């Protein structure tokens, strides 16, 4: 994004009442001006500035301190596995798990709040509970679970389609992780792509309400949209959904998921 696009987006966000700035990507730490952007956000009045990152840059001495000095209040680490072999394979970068671990350590020493963004595929779903346990041991107290989507330009890539995880493989792992760390609260983990009809009632603290979340996404070129309107978050409803009691707060289903795995897992809740 250009300087002008960034300044315009930050100003519009504040004018619309936003007070939390989320710097994501791609990989935002690839920008040399990331500290200047974070500081600009704080000057404009954002009270929280979150950096969503693979964590590799944070492994360098002084980087976490520069984050804190720029006003970044929390760091969300993108975790792709509970062990280096899985994480590095999915990230396609050898050694990046170890760098992330070093980055977590430096961020924690600096006093930045730590969060986990768990990126779940068909081939790492079994590691989900271990990923949460690892993050908790590192000091993370808040997690978001993102299921791989084939909605974007890669939708015709058979490799991506094969890795779209199935709800019935993910949900038991989600439940196990939430039960294992129930002391963190009913909503310490947010699962972005699992509708209420596939989650046991006891785990509904993990439900994600995209509209209530109120996030505006701004991309390079200045293109902006509300997260709730993104096909990444769902948007497709089945004929039976009209009778479901969760319909008013449901984000719907992702079209790429339905194309890959069908609709039989989704039964309306009377
Ligand atoms: S509205 Fe449809 S997708 Fe949403 S919880 Fe109900 S049955 Fe599931």
Q: How confident is the model at residue 139 (pLDDT cuts 50, 70, 90)?
A: very high
Copy the structure tokens of residue 58: 């944070």
Q: How far is the CA of 180 from the centre of ligand 1 (A)?
A: 27
Is the four-CA dihedral 122, 126, 132, 135 of positive or negative sign?
A: negative
Pocket test for ligand 1, best of 237, 248, 265 (most atoms within 8 A of CB): 237
If you average pLDDT over residues 238-253, what whole number do you get?
94
pLDDT at 229: 82
pLDDT at 226 over 80: yes
If you average pLDDT over residues 96-103, what whole number do you get?
98
pLDDT at 13: 94
Q: How far is the CA of 191 from the centre of ligand 1 (A)?
A: 15
Closest CA to 127 of 164, 171, 80: 80
Domains of the chain: 3-261 (3.20.20)
pLDDT in tens, 151-175: 764 556 788 888 999 999 999 999 9
Ligand 1 atom closest to the CA of 244, numbered from 1: 6
Ligand 1 atom closest to the CA of 247, numbered from 1: 1
pLDDT in tens, 121-135: 999 999 999 999 999
Closest CA to 226 of 38, 12, 78: 12
Q: How confident is the model at residue 25 (pLDDT cuts 50, 70, 90)?
A: confident
Copy the structure tokens of residue 229: 């309107």
In angstroms, the CA 71 to CA 42 distance is 6
- pLDDT over 70 for what percent of the chain? 98
Pocket test for ligand 1, best of 192, 269, 270 (most atoms within 8 A of CB): 269
If you average pLDDT over residues 129-144, what whole number do you get?
97
pLDDT in tens, 30-71: 999 999 999 999 999 999 999 999 999 999 999 999 999 999
pTM for the whole structure: 0.92
> Which residue has 């430096």 as its token pair?
106
In angstroms, the CA 266 to CA 234 distance is 13
Greater model confidence, 217 or 212:
217
- Residue 52 contacts residue 25 (beta carbons within 8 Å): yes
pLDDT at 128: 98
Q: How far is the CA of 140 from the centre of ligand 1 (A)?
A: 30
If you average pLDDT over residues 243-261, what whole number do you get?
92
Closest residue by Cα to atom 2, ligand 1, is: 241
Reduced to 3 states (helix: H, G, I; strand: E, B; else coil), residue 28 is helix
Q: How far is the CA of 197 from the centre of ligand 1 (A)?
A: 6
Q: How confident is the model at residue 268 (pLDDT cuts 50, 70, 90)?
A: very high
pLDDT at 235: 86
pLDDT at 1 over 60: yes
In the chain, where does DSSP find H-type helix?
3-15, 34-44, 63-70, 84-91, 96-110, 128-138, 158-163, 167-180, 210-213, 255-261
Copy the structure tokens of residue 230: 């993104």
Ligand 1 atom closest to the CA of 198, numbered from 1: 8
pLDDT in tens, 190-211: 999 999 999 999 999 999 888 8
pLDDT in tens, 71-81: 999 999 999 99
Closest CA to 33 of 77, 73, 66: 66
In angstroms, the CA 82 to CA 178 distance is 16
In angstroms, the CA 245 to CA 254 distance is 19
* Mean confidence (pLDDT) of the chain: 93
Which residues have CB under 6 Å of ligand 1? 195-197, 237-238, 241, 244, 246-247, 250, 253, 266, 268-269
- Residue 238 contacts residue 253 (beta carbons within 8 Å): yes
Ligand 1 atom closest to the CA of 238, numbered from 1: 2
Closest residue by Cα to atom 8, ligand 1, is: 197
């Amino acid at each position: 994004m250009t300087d002008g696009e960034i300044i315009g987006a930050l100003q519009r966000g504040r004018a619309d009442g936003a007070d939390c700035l989320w710097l994501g990507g791609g990989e935002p730490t690839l920008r040399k001006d990331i500290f200047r952007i974070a500081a600009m956000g704080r000057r404009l009045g954002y009270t929280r500035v979150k950096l969503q990152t693979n964590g590799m840059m944070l492994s360098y001495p002084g980087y976490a301190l520069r984050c804190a000095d720029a006003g970044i209040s929390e760091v969300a680490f993108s975790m792709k596995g509970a062990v280096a072999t899985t994480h590095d394979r999915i990230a396609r970068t050898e050694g990046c798990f170890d760098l992330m671990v070093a980055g977590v350590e430096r961020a924690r020493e600096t006093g930045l709040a730590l969060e986990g963004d768990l990126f779940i595929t068909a081939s790492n779903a079994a590691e989900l509970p271990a990923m949460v346990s690892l993050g908790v041991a590192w000091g993370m107290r808040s997690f978001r679970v993102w299921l791989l989507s084939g909605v974007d330009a890669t939708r015709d890539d058979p490799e991506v389609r094969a890795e779209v995880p199935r709800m019935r493989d993910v949900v038991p792992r989600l439940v196990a992780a939430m039960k294992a760390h129930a002391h963190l609260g009913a909503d310490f983990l947010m699962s972005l792509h699992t509708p209420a009809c596939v989650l046991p009632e006891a785990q509904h603290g993990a439900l994600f309400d995209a509209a209530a979340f109120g996030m505006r996404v701004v991309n390079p070129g200045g293109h902006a949209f509300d997260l709730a309107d993104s096909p990444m978050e769902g948007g497709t409803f089945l004929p039976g959904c009209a009778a479901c009691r969760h319909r008013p707060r449901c984000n719907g289903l992702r079209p790429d998921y339905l194309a890959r795995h069908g609709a039989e897992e989704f039964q309306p809740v009377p």
